[in-house]
Structure 1
Amino acid sequence: MPQVSMTVNGKPASGEAEGRTLLSQFLRETLGLTGTHVGCDTSQCGACVVHVDGKAVKACTMFALEAEGADVATIEGQAAPDGTLNPIQQAFQDHHGLQCGFCTPGMVMSAAALLKENPKPSEAEIRDYLEGNLCRCTGYHNIVKAIMAASGQDVGALAAE
């Protein structure tokens, strides 16, 4: 079976992967990084979003072998080594941007990619960017609010839903 090597959350990682092994499966089953959730296996829900070489990618649509030599960031690498949440994670907590939590890793990773591209997105831009991420619990209002707060914007003007 082929070997695949990559950097995951700043550390070298490698393992065996069949040609059909998805990146999400490799991260979860081979590397034990179960924070990357798999909700649909069809690229519909966004629960599996990770960053590959700085770009948001749905890990259920990429083969592990395609990530050979890549720099991969998962939800496990977002907090500081001492466990302190990063600003996006903290904003999700502060603004109740989660309920069951299943979609949260993908939402946080998508939000990080958005804020890297657009440090001060509007509400409409956030909602547009999150189109590929499904949440069955929250109605998105508090997720949008959390992302705006993480970007340093005033969320007091957002209408309550």
Structure 2
Amino acid sequence: MTDNDWIIQYEQLKSWAESKNYTVTEKWGVEDCIVFEDQEIFINSRCKPENMFYTLLHECGHYLLDKAKESFKETHPVYPSEVTDGRIEKSTAYRVCILSEELKAWERGWRLAKRLNLHVDQQNYHRCMTDALWTYVIDVTKDIKTQVITTDPNGSESDSSKGEV
């Protein structure tokens, strides 16, 4: 597909989001996200049209997850959108829930494209998804300490923490 084809599909998906009363704003260098309170989706316009399309699919996936929030919360006890406690936000459970939510948003975006008969290059979509998810994997693991069992010269073991993973 050409860049123009991706732009056409992007505009079709943007129209779908607008039919749900969401505004889609493209801005150079902005962080891609959905703001539920303002019903707005932000897409970084510095990316190529195909990646902008995939990112918008992902953000629409978040919209669909939010619509099914109650069932999602049943399987994710520390639902990221509901947390305001800083201690919980730093927990591994919370971070894993974010990772799960992000993956599910990518899956929902994929299914939405199929439902709307929009073309998706499977390999490129999964590459885009993997690149995005990897940033969350790094975040989930950055503060986890590894335990190292050390043995002193007398043969007794002791636990010690080692630096970041």
Give me the TM-score of the superposition, normalised by structure 1.
0.30
Greater relative CO (CA pairs within 8 A, separation 6+): 1
Question: Which entry has the higher C-alpha Rg, 1 or 2?
Answer: 2
Give me the TM-score of the superposition, normalised by structure 2.
0.29
